[in-house]
A and B are shown apart, each in its own frame.
Chain A
Amino acid sequence: MDETLAKKLRILADAAKYDASCASSAAPKRAAGKDGLGSTTGAGICHAYTPDGRCVSLLKILLTNWCLFDCAYCINRRSSNVRRAKFTVEEVVNLTLNFYRRNYIEGLFLSSGIIKSPDHTMELLTRVAKSLRRDHGFAGYIHLKSIPEASPWLIEEAGLYADRLSINVELPTEASLERLAPEKDGAAIQNAMAQIGERIVEAKAEKRRFSPAGHSTQVIVGADATTDEALIRKSAHLYGSVGLKRVYYSAFSPIPDGSAILPPKPPPLQREHRLYQADWLLRYYQFTPDEVADASEDGMLALDIDPKLAWALKHREKFPVDVNKADREWLLRVPGLGARAVDKIITARRHATLRLDDVARLTSGLKRARPFLVAADHRPVGLTDRLDLRARLVEPATQLSLF
C-alpha cells in the first residue's frame, strides 16, 4: 500500500466517520466457495473499537469527499475547506480485499459525495460492489449508501450486489431539510426508500437477492430544534411505511470547519442513547409512539433515566407486576427486564415458582425491576409509591459524558 493510497484513506475515512451505522448483521449466512473469500455470520462482528467506544466492523469510507451538495451539517459540503480526495473503483476493491484477508473487517460500507451527478456517483458505487462480487468472488458484507436523487433503475441494480442499502433521512422535517440541506428533496428520499422496501419484500418472496440484510437510515439529532417525540414519531412512521430495519440516531457532532448556521455545541451524547432506547421500545417492547411521547416531558426524553422507567414512574398504578402470573406484554413493561429476560421468565415459571433470587439469575436489571415486581417471596410494599423512587433509580450521570 503506497503513500498516495494511505493519504486518500486518511481523508476518505475521516470524511465517512460521521455516519453512525456500522452494522454487519442480518445478511443471510454465507460461506466462501472454493477458492473464494468471505462469509457472513448473521449477527455481524465488530473487529475493533476506537476510543469513542464505537465498533469498527466495516471499512467505512467514501469513494470521494468532493461533493456538489451543500448540506450545512456535513463536513464534505461543497463550501467546506476540508481536504479532498477520490478513490478509483479499483483502489476501493483492493483495499477491501486486503483488509478483509487480514481479518480487519467484515466487509465494506461505501458512501460518496455527489460528483458530476447523482446517477454518475451511484453507478460508481455499484461498480465497486459488482467488481467485488463478480471479479473477486467476495462473499463478505457490503453496505451501499444509496443516493436518493439517482435514477430508480440504478437503485434496482445496487440491491443486487449489496447486503444492505441505506438512504439517510438526515433531518426529520421538511423545513429543516430545506434550510440545512438545500439540494436534498424529502419526497425523493421517501420514494427511494419505498422503492427499496418494496423490492426487498418482493425479492424475499421470490427467493431472489435484493439487499437481503434490509435497509436503514440515519437521522441527525440536535442540528435543529426537532424534539425526541417528533423523531420517534418519524421513526415509527418509517418502520411502518417503508419497512426499515433500523433507524440510526447520530448526535450532531462538531466538525472541523463547521457551518455558521449550525448550533455551536453538540447535544449531549446521552440524548442519542435515550433515543435508541425509545426506538427499541417501539420495535421490541410493543410501545406505541404515543406511549413514548407519554414517557417524555415537553417532547424530550429524560436524560437521567431510561424511557421505560420514565413511563413506569408515570404509570405506577399499573405496577407491581407478578413475575409468576403476568402476561408477556406486562413483563415487558417492567423497567430492568429485557425481552430475553422476559422470555426466560416465562419459560422457567412453567416449571418453578420464581422467587427474587431466581429472577436475579434471569436478568441483570433486578435493581431497577424490584420496585415494580411481585415474586413468590417479594412484594414491594409502598416502594412503588415512594416519592423519591425516581431519585433512587437514577443512573450516575457520568456514564456517557466526555472527559
Chain B
Amino acid sequence: MQDGAVVATLQEAALPSPDSLRGPPSPAEGRGNARAPQSILLRPGADLTGFRDAARRLIAEGVPPEAVAWAVTDSPGLFGTETAQAPAAPLALPKPVAALIPQVIPHRDPERYGLLYALIWRVCHGERHLMEVGSDPLVHRLHRMAKAIGRDLHKMHAFLRFRRAEDATGEHFVAWFEPDHHILEAAAPFFVARFRGMRWSILTPEGSARWDTETLTYGPPGDRASLPEGDGFEAGWQTYYESTFNPARTNLKAMRAEMPKKYWHNMPETAAIPALVRAAAGRTDAMIEREPTLPTRREPARAVAAMADQDPKTLEALNAIIKRTEPLVPGATQAVLGEGPVGATVAFVGEQPGDQEDRQGRPFVGPAGQLLSRAMAEAGIDRGASYLTNAVKHFKFEERGKRRIHQKPTAGEVSHYRWWLDRELDFVAPKLVVALGATAVLALTGKAVPITRARGPFRFDRFEDRVQGFITVHPSYLLRLPDEAKEEAYAAFVDDLRRVEALGRELAA
C-alpha cells in the first residue's frame, strides 16, 4: 500500500453535488433513513488502507451498504489534509473475512469495494458465519474475484522474465510485466524472498518496483522500451524450451488454458511456438514410421561388465569411502574407523566416537575405551586380537564453553550409518558380535531393545545363524553411575566379558 493513503468522506469544499454535501450521519441518525448515498473516494489501484479506514468508520456510524457510493480518484485535490479524521476503531472480523479483503482489493472491478463492504456489513449484522456459506451469491462472487487475483499473482510470479543489464555499479535485472489487476505490490514480496541477493526492477504500466538487495521501493510506471536486450542465456532458454517439447504429445488447448496468449509477447520462449507446432505432426509420423536401426557403435561389453562391479572389495576400500564422506551432523574432525584384524573372532560394536576418539581418529581410546580395555584384560580378552568399531562413525556433540559434550545419535542417524556397519562386519567376518549398549543393538536389529532385559547371548536376525550375538552395556554407562553402584556394575560387566571370552574361545575352536 502507498503510505499516507487517505480515505475521504467527501467534504463540502470539494463536492459538486448538493446531495452529497450532507456530512457524515451521526450514529444516532442510524440506518434506514432515506438519504443520499455517502460517497467514499479511494486512491486508484489497491487502496487497502483507504478502504479499511472507511469501512471502520462506516460500520461505526451504522451506514448500510446501499447508502455508500464508492469511487476512485487520482486527483490529489480531493485528498486534502482537511479530510484526516480520527481513525475509527478496528473491526473485529472473523479470520476468513479479514483474509479475503486483501485478496479482493487488487481486483480491477470497480464494484470490489462495495461488495466487500456489503460482506463486512452482513458479517457485522448477524451473519458471523457468512464466509462458510460458499453458496451465497455474494460470497461466491468475492471468492471468484479472490481466485482471479490469486491466478494473476501466480501468473506474474511464473511468467515474468528478467533480463540482465550491467552498469558501473554491477549487474541489475529488469523485467516488464502487464498484470490484469492492481497486483504489483502484492506480487513484489515473492521476488524479494526469491531474488534477495540480486538488484532488480519490475516495470508495469501502472507502476514499478525496485529492489537494491536491502530495500523495496515503488515508483512510477515503467517503459517497455527501456528493457535491456536479451543475452545468451535467453537464447539458451529458447533452446531448452524447444528441446523439452515432445511433438508426439502436442496439445495446444492445454497449453493455451494455462498460458493464455496475452502473456506470450513478454515471454521470449514463446517465439518458438509456431514453428514447433508446424513441424510436430511430421516429426511424430517420422518417428513412428522409421524402421528401427541397428546400433552403429559396437557393444561396450567390457564397460557393461565392469559397471556391475562397483562394490568395495576390501575393508580398506570401504574405509576409504567412509573417510571421504562428510558427517551427517556437521562438526566432527574425522571419521573414526573400526580397528582390529580382519577375521577376528569377536567384534565389539559401540555407539559413536567421543571427544578423544574424534581427535585421535581411533575407536575406544577415551575414558570409556580405557575402562573397556581394563575390563577386557580382566576377562582375559586380548584387545589387539578383537575388532572394535562404532555404529555411528562421526562424533556428535554440543559445545559448552571449551568442552564438547557427547550427544546420543538419533535413530535416523543410526540408520544412516547402518550400511557401513553391515559391510564392515561382512568384511571382518567375526564369529561373535558383541553389542555394547542400546545404540549398537539398534544398529544391529533396527529396533529399540531394552538392554537390561536382553543382556547376554542374543540372536541378531541379520546374521541368521552364521554369527553369534551378545548384548551388554556400554562402558560409558559405568562411568555415569554413582560411585556406590559403580563397583557392582563393573563386576557384572566383567562377568559378561568373561562369558564373551568363553563363547569366543568355543567358536574359534
A9 to B243, CA, bound (A): 8
Determine whether B477 belongs to the interface, using a CB cutoff of 8 Å to chain A: no
Report yes or no: A31 in contact with B193, Cβ–Cβ below 8 A: yes
Contact mask for chain B residues 165-195; partner A; CB cutoff 8 A; 1 contact, 0 none? 0000000010100000000000000100111
Q: A68-B304, A348-B135 are in contact. Are A38 and B246 (CB under 8 A)?
A: no
A68 to B235, CA, bound (A): 32
Q: A45-B154, A102-B162, A157-B325 are in contact. Are A269 and B173 (CB under 8 A)?
A: no
Which of A212-220, A232-240, A351-359 lines the interface with chain B? A351-359
Report yes or no: B419 in contact with A47, Cβ–Cβ below 8 A: no
Determine whether A202 belongs to the interface, using a CB cutoff of 8 Å to chain B: yes
Determine whether B429 belongs to the interface, using a CB cutoff of 8 Å to chain A: no
Report yes or no: B269 in contact with A203, Cβ–Cβ below 8 A: no
Which has the most chain B C-beta neighbours within 10 Å: A48, A344, A403?
A48
Report yes or no: B244 in contact with A39, Cβ–Cβ below 8 A: no
Determine whether A382 belongs to the interface, using a CB cutoff of 8 Å to chain B: no
Distance to closest chain A CB from B164 (angstroms): 7
Report yes or no: B233 in contact with A1, Cβ–Cβ below 8 A: yes
**Contact pick for B307, options A56, A118, A399, CB 8 Å:** A118
Contact mask for chain A residues 294-322; partner B; CB cutoff 8 A; 1 contact, 0 none? 00000000000000000000000000000
**Contact pick for B258, options A9, A55, A208, A258, CB 8 Å:** A55
Residue of A nearest to B263 (CB): A48
Cβ < 8 Å to B, chain A residues 1-35: 1-2, 5-6, 9-11, 13-14, 16-18, 31-35
**Contact pick for A103, options B162, B284, B321, CB 8 Å:** B162
Report yes or no: A35 in contact with B213, Cβ–Cβ below 8 A: yes
Residues of A within 8 A of B135 (CB): 344, 348, 352, 354, 357-359, 361-362
Distance to closest chain B CB from A152 (angstroms): 4
Report yes or no: A257 in contact with B197, Cβ–Cβ below 8 A: no
Total inter-chain residue pairs, C-beta < 8 Å: 271
Contact mask for chain A residues 48-89; partner B; CB cutoff 8 A; 1 contact, 0 none? 111111111001110000001000000000111100000000
Determine whether A255 belongs to the interface, using a CB cutoff of 8 Å to chain B: yes
Determine whether B427 belongs to the interface, using a CB cutoff of 8 Å to chain A: no
Determine whether A284 belongs to the interface, using a CB cutoff of 8 Å to chain B: no
Residues of A within 8 A of B276 (CB): 50-51
How many interface residues does A have (CB within 8 Å)?
101
Report yes or no: A60 in contact with B244, Cβ–Cβ below 8 A: yes
Determine whether B267 belongs to the interface, using a CB cutoff of 8 Å to chain A: yes
Cβ < 8 Å to A, chain B residues 296-317: 296-297, 299-300, 303-304, 306-311
A66 to B326, CA, bound (A): 29
Determine whether A392 belongs to the interface, using a CB cutoff of 8 Å to chain B: no
Cβ < 8 Å to B, chain A residues 347-373: 347-348, 350-352, 354, 357-359, 361-362
Q: A118-B310, A256-B290, A361-B135 are in contact. Are A52 and B193 (CB under 8 A)?
A: no
Distance to closest chain A CB from B297 (angstroms): 8
**Contact pick for A258, options B173, B247, B280, B290, CB 8 Å:** B290
Determine whether B134 belongs to the interface, using a CB cutoff of 8 Å to chain A: yes
Report yes or no: A403 in contact with B248, Cβ–Cβ below 8 A: no
Report yes or no: B419 in contact with A156, Cβ–Cβ below 8 A: yes
A258 to B321, CA, bound (A): 39
Determine whether A46 belongs to the interface, using a CB cutoff of 8 Å to chain B: yes
**Contact pick for B310, options A13, A79, A120, CB 8 Å:** A120
Report yes or no: A198 in contact with B415, Cβ–Cβ below 8 A: yes
A95 to B159, CA, bound (A): 19
Report yes or no: A10 in contact with B244, Cβ–Cβ below 8 A: no
A48 to B411, CA, bound (A): 42
Distance to closest chain B CB from A244 (angstroms): 19
A56 to B232, CA, bound (A): 20
Report yes or no: B311 in contact with A1, Cβ–Cβ below 8 A: no
**Contact pick for B290, options A257, A269, A403, CB 8 Å:** A257
A78 to B252, CA, bound (A): 33
Report yes or no: B245 in contact with A348, Cβ–Cβ below 8 A: no
Cβ < 8 Å to A, chain B residues 383-419: 410-413, 415-416, 419
Determine whether A225 belongs to the interface, using a CB cutoff of 8 Å to chain B: no
A256 to B328, CA, bound (A): 43
**Contact pick for A13, options B194, B240, B270, CB 8 Å:** B240
Report yes or no: B233 in contact with A32, Cβ–Cβ below 8 A: no
Report yes or no: A254 in contact with B194, Cβ–Cβ below 8 A: no
Cβ < 8 Å to A, chain B residues 273-290: 273, 276-277, 280-281, 284, 286-288, 290
Which has the most chain A C-beta neighbours within 10 Å: B132, B137, B237, B420?
B237
Report yes or no: A59 in contact with B412, Cβ–Cβ below 8 A: no
**Contact pick for B243, options A17, A47, A400, CB 8 Å:** A17
Report yes or no: A102 in contact with B161, Cβ–Cβ below 8 A: yes
Residues of B within 8 A of A60 (CB): 244
Report yes or no: A46 in contact with B288, Cβ–Cβ below 8 A: no
Q: A47-B158, A156-B416, A359-B135 are in contact. Are A102 and B233 (CB under 8 A)?
A: yes
Report yes or no: A9 in contact with B236, Cβ–Cβ below 8 A: yes
Determine whether B95 belongs to the interface, using a CB cutoff of 8 Å to chain A: no
Determine whether A114 belongs to the interface, using a CB cutoff of 8 Å to chain B: yes
Report yes or no: B412 in contact with A31, Cβ–Cβ below 8 A: no
A119 to B312, CA, bound (A): 11
Q: A6-B235, A102-B233, A151-B310 are in contact. Are A79 and B196 (CB under 8 A)?
A: no
Residue of A nearest to B296 (CB): A81
Determine whether B33 belongs to the interface, using a CB cutoff of 8 Å to chain A: no
Determine whether A380 belongs to the interface, using a CB cutoff of 8 Å to chain B: no
22 contacts across the A-B interface (CB closer than 8 A): A1-B233, A13-B243, A48-B158, A48-B267, A52-B251, A53-B254, A59-B240, A68-B303, A78-B304, A79-B295, A81-B297, A117-B310, A152-B419, A160-B328, A199-B412, A199-B415, A202-B415, A206-B412, A256-B286, A347-B132, A348-B133, A402-B249
3 tightest A-B CB contacts, nearest first: A53-B254, A358-B135, A202-B412
User: Could you list 4 further interchain pairs (A-B, Cβ under 8 angstroms) beyond the known A1-B233, A199-B412, A256-B290?
Assistant: A13-B243, A157-B326, A160-B328, A258-B292
Chain B interface (Cβ within 8 Å of chain A)? 129, 132-137, 140, 154, 157-164, 173, 175, 190, 193-198, 213, 231-237, 239-255, 257-259, 267, 269-270, 273, 276-277, 280-281, 284, 286-288, 290, 292-293, 295-297, 299-300, 303-304, 306-311, 321, 325-326, 328, 410-413, 415-416, 419-420
